[in-house]
Amino acid sequence: MWRYLSVPALFLVLLGFFLVGLFRDPTMVPSPLINQPAPQFELPQLLHPERTLGLRDLATGEPVLLNVWATWCVGCRQEHGMLVEIARSGEIPIFGLNWKDDRAAATRWLERLGDPYVAVAVDDDGRVAIDWGVYGSPETFLLDGEGIIRFKHIGPIDATVWEREFRPRIAQLRQGQS
Amino acid sequence: MTIRLMLAAGLVLGALASPGQVTAAPFTPLTVEALSPLEDPDQRARYERLIREIRCLVCQNEPIADSNAPLARDLRREIRQQIESGASDREIIEFLTARYGDFVLYRPPFTPRTWLLWLAPGLLLLGGGWIFWRILRARADKPIDDEEWGEDPEPAEDTPR
């Protein structure tokens, strides 16, 4: 029996691997920073260059988002409306990390499209983004009240992503706290 | 029988393309390096080797040595600065994997998550070899089958006159 089934069996195993691989997105690289304390940083703010924004400001005791964006990034333009909407609803504070961008262009972008951010840190040389393991914007980190990274979403946020990926996790974090 | 032989050959060939053999292209595009080379030849050699070991996350089939992506440029600068400030290769690799995971390494460490990746080529080779051997043995046991080979063609037929 085995004599006749060995080759088809091997074939089916390989087929299984390929089938699973076919439906996985190779551009989604899992971050080793999940459930780790967020990396320290201290950067000048976009709209108030005389002030800085750091990890201290993000650890407010409440969950917050850190959104990595840039004006050269198409996905950021796509998700911006959604971010503005989230900010308006007051669901969760959103902080921004402006990644390797032009300061004037970034300021204009916020003036024109609305500013969903509590504050935006300017990462000119991309040094902080490396510490955060950023490799493609937009990326959005969910931090708990203690400044621990609980989740990271790569790619634009839309209503579906928000509903499916963020809302339950935020609710869970809030429950854990009270 | 022929189909089995072909399958065995396919397995052996597949096994030869092992993950350990992923090496960078032998040429480097001229546009990639904007910085002046490191002065110290030792440091330069380490830098050249490290940037070939690290996979670019933006264009995933390129080492950061060959990539023009802004992130690859940043990572090259980072590696260079760390070499200049005296970090060891191991420290630099740890720095990168702590942030981006084992994915950035073309040669990931042997862990429970990667053992299949590392061993699959050998297993496929063994499996293919085993099937191949079985077929050969089965053939050796059989008396030569004249019908399979058919009648001898008449050689005189196609020789030019």
Domain layout of chain A by residue ranges: 30-177
pLDDT at B31 over 60: no
DSSP B69-106: -HHHHHHHHHHHHHHHTT--HHHHHHHHHHHH-GGGBS
CA–CA dist A23, A81 (Å, integer): 29
Mean pLDDT (whole number) for B110-124: 90
Q: Which of A10, A29, A100 sits opposite B103 (nearest CB)?
A: A29
pLDDT at A156 over 50: yes
Mean pLDDT (whole number) for B10-24: 51
Per-residue confidence (pLDDT) for residue B25, from 0 to 100: 47
- Within-domain flag for B154: no
pLDDT at B29 over 50: no
Task: Give per-residue pLDDT as tens, A73-99.
Answer: 999 999 999 999 999 999 999 999 999
What is this structure's pTM?
0.77
Portion of chain A with pLDDT greater than 70, in percent: 97
The pair phi, psi for residue B14, each rounded to 5°, is: -60, -40
Looking at CATH, the fold of the domain delimited by A30-177 is given as Glutaredoxin (3.40.30)
pLDDT at A15 over 50: yes
Q: Strands across the sheet with A139-143, in order?
A: A120-123, A94-99, A64-69, A139-143, A149-154
Record: contact A32-B100, CB cut-off 8 A: yes
B81 touches chain A (CB under 8 A): no
Question: A59-83: buried (b, 16+ CB within 10 Å) or exposed (e) per residue?
Answer: beeebbbbbbbbbebebbbebbebb
Per-residue confidence (pLDDT) for residue B16, from 0 to 100: 52
Which pLDDT band holds residue B60 (cuts at 50, 70, 90)? confident
Mean pLDDT (whole number) for A4-32: 86
Q: Find the domain containing B63 and state its range.
A: 2-21+34-104
Per-residue confidence (pLDDT) for residue B160, from 0 to 100: 58
B132 touches chain A (CB under 8 A): no
Pairing relationship of beta strands A42-44 and A52-54 according to DSSP bridges: antiparallel
Of A73-82, B17-26, B86-95, B127-136, the range with the lowest mean pLDDT is: B17-26
Task: List chain A residues with CB under 8 Å of B103.
Answer: 29-30
pLDDT at B13 over 60: no
Per the structure block, which two tokens stand in for B45? Answer: 């050699």
CA–CA dist A138, A77 (Å, integer): 9
3-state secondary structure of A68: strand
> Residue B63's domain is classified under what CATH number?
1.10.8.640
Task: List chain A residues with CB under 8 Å of B97.
Answer: 32
Portion of chain B with pLDDT greater than 70, in percent: 67
Per-residue confidence (pLDDT) for residue B12, from 0 to 100: 56
pLDDT at B88 over 60: yes
Record: contact B70-A100, CB cut-off 8 A: yes
CA–CA dist B38, B42 (Å, integer): 9
Query: Burial, B129: exposed, middle or buried (Cβ in 10 Å; 0-12, 13-18, 19+)?
Result: middle
Count up the domains in chain B and report the number: 1
pLDDT at A174 over 50: yes
Per-residue confidence (pLDDT) for residue B139, from 0 to 100: 85
For A6, the closest chain B residue by CA position comes to B131
Task: List chain A residues with CB under 8 Å of B70.
Answer: 100, 126
Per-residue confidence (pLDDT) for residue B59, from 0 to 100: 82
Angle (nearest 5°) at CA A97 between A95 and A99: 165
Which pLDDT band holds residue B26 (cuts at 50, 70, 90)? very low
- Within-domain flag for B17: yes
pLDDT at B28 over 50: no
Mean pLDDT (whole number) for B55-74: 89
pLDDT at A107 over 80: yes
pLDDT at B22 over 70: no
Record: contact B7-A7, CB cut-off 8 A: yes
ipTM of this complex = 0.84
Query: Burial, A7: exposed, middle or buried (Cβ in 10 Å; 0-12, 13-18, 19+)?
Result: middle
Listed in sequence order, the residues at least 6 apart from A108 whose beta carbon sits closer than 8 Å to its beta carbon are none
